Chains A and B, each alone.
Chain A
Amino acid sequence: MSVIFLAEHQQDTFKKSAFEAATFSKKLAEKLGTTAIGVVIGSMNNPGSLGKYGADKVLHVQADQNVPFDSQVFTEALAAAAKQSDASVIILAHSSTGKALGGRLSARLKAGLVSGVNALPDTEGGFKARKSVFSGKANGIYNITSAIKILTLAGNAVKPVRSETEAPVESLQVTLPTARITVKEIKTVQGIVPLPEAEIVVSAGRGMKDPGNWGIIEELAATLGATTACSRPVADADWRPHHEHVGQTGIAIRPNLYFAIGISGAIQHLAGVNTSKVIVVINKDPEAPFFKAADYGVVGDLFEVVPKLNDALKAFKAAH
């Protein structure tokens, strides 16, 4: 028996989700009285560093290079790792990678899947996993009845805990099938934490009036080390890039801190952000629906409030 997790990485850097999965798997393994095993696919310099976040051992599926993502190839590797380590639980990130694998592995291993899990499962009298449903308006608690269980873990659901212990690395020989998908190009914004992984998000909407006004939003984000986001009409009008669009038709995020600036708080927008831990709303209209979903609110003109907030934050950062 063991808990295994896929540690996603890009070149030689683990993604934040890998550390979250490691810590989550370790906590779950302790509950089940077993070990947490990380699975690393493709070339990676220091897979043993996963030990610092909870892995008791790492299985390294060796390859000459970074294996481009093809869900069939990854499924083969993970199924082999699951067999090798007699896995009873498989943890994936609720990411573009994990979502494409969860269903495949579930069908392959006849293992029940709960996706987007946001808390440690309850293992007394069953295996009950919790996830947010109906755009954050409720939680569903599902009991997995199959022998092997698969969870995809929502971002920011667990805080990675770090120690100084490296994990032993074993190499796992798997004959990977030839990929049927060829990855031609990967275009990602550099130097910015991708939105789904961001802990702080500064988001702005139509209240900004003009794309030329976004300087104050970017400055605030820079001060906070935050990632920027936007409402749908702003992306639709090409004021901001499409990958910044959050909400029902954009991406769903759950950062620790979400700033909504000049966004009215339509239900379709809230659907993508209302599981954020703390929400701050800045809007000149005291009747804006977003205030109902907010923890902190500022009723005022964003063009005055945001620069003031930025100054106050800079002063705070300088003092701490």
Chain B
Amino acid sequence: MKYLVCISKTPDTTAKIGFTNNNKTFDSNGVQYIMNPYDEWYALVRALELKETQGGDITLINVGGVDNETIIRKGLAIGGDKAVRINAENPSAWFVASQIANYAKNEGFDIIFTGKETIDYNGAEVPAMVAELLDLPLISFASKMDISGNKATIQRDIEGGVEIVEVDTPFVISASKGLAEQRIPNMRGIMMAKTKPLEVVEPLAIEEMIEIDHFETPPPKSSVKLVDPSDMEELVRLLHEEAKII
């Protein structure tokens, strides 16, 4: 089996959020970046487990600038066999998906793994775009997956429960929590990652369909109104009369 794992980078959740260039650009000054947790913990690790039990080969792909090589190397340290970086700064979901599809179209991947969403812009857009561009089925928000031969049985999270589906390879799968257990790269992996191939490819020209107008930070929350713990009638009154929510 040939697996492609799409990895993105995202600011650490604890990062301070600010903007520059008339609030049009995210201010990455001093921001710590991580591999998107859904890609690292679930998508990549499930691909690794499949490789370990059934054999195969894992390619990592990232669309991004040269700074992204830190997270790409981390992915290789966890267990990817080789990596491709499509060289582009601050790409949109449409740009990213077009590049991934363009790379994958002649490679014959059996399974393309993505995370369910990137936690910065929370788009959940790339997986469906890639699937459409390659005319492949998409199983999104997968929290369990087993495969026998070329038939996969997948549990996907839906509102208030799960759906169990079957699909034949090739397909695109987006990973949510539960698909695998997080792994931490060991020393051997880190050493080996240094010598694994990382190919840099120039992007295909794409016509964008959206553009950022500006970002806004919400006004700081006014401070909390404390209610006496022995007076819950007062809390109910506030929720009814002031917040008008019950």
Interface residues of A (CB under 8 A from B): 15, 69-72, 75, 95-97, 99-108, 110-116, 126, 128, 131-135, 137-146, 180-189, 192-197, 200, 224, 242-243, 245, 248-252, 256-257, 267-268, 271, 277-278, 280-281, 291-301, 304-305, 308-309, 311-313, 315-316
Neighbouring A residues of B45 by C-beta, 8 Å:
none
Neighbouring B residues of A300 by C-beta, 8 Å:
229
Q: Does B128 contact A (CB under 8 A)?
A: yes
Q: Does B133 contact A (CB under 8 A)?
A: yes
Complexed CA–CA distance, A77 and B214 (Å) = 34
Interface residues of B (CB under 8 A from A): 11, 13-14, 17, 19, 37, 93-94, 97, 117, 119-133, 137-141, 143, 153, 156-168, 171, 177-178, 208-218, 221, 224-230, 232-233, 235-236, 238-240, 243, 245-246
Interface pairs (29), CB distance under 8 Å: A95-B159, A96-B157, A99-B128, A99-B141, A103-B93, A103-B130, A104-B129, A113-B93, A131-B122, A133-B120, A135-B119, A138-B17, A140-B212, A145-B210, A181-B137, A185-B164, A195-B159, A196-B159, A200-B246, A243-B157, A256-B245, A278-B245, A292-B224, A295-B221, A296-B225, A296-B227, A299-B229, A301-B229, A312-B232
Q: Which of B19, B129, B209, B233 contacts A144 (CB 8 A)?
A: B209
Complexed CA–CA distance, A259 and B238 (Å) = 14
Complexed CA–CA distance, A105 and B133 (Å) = 10
Q: In chain A, what residue has the closest Cβ to B162?
A: A187
Q: Which of A107, A141, A181 contacts B214 (CB 8 A)?
A: A141
Say yes or no: B97 contacts A281, CB within 8 Å. no
Say yes or no: A113 contacts B17, CB within 8 Å. no
Neighbouring A residues of B119 by C-beta, 8 Å:
135, 248, 271
Closest Cβ–Cβ distance, residue A139 to chain B (whole Å): 5
Say yes or no: B129 contacts A107, CB within 8 Å. yes
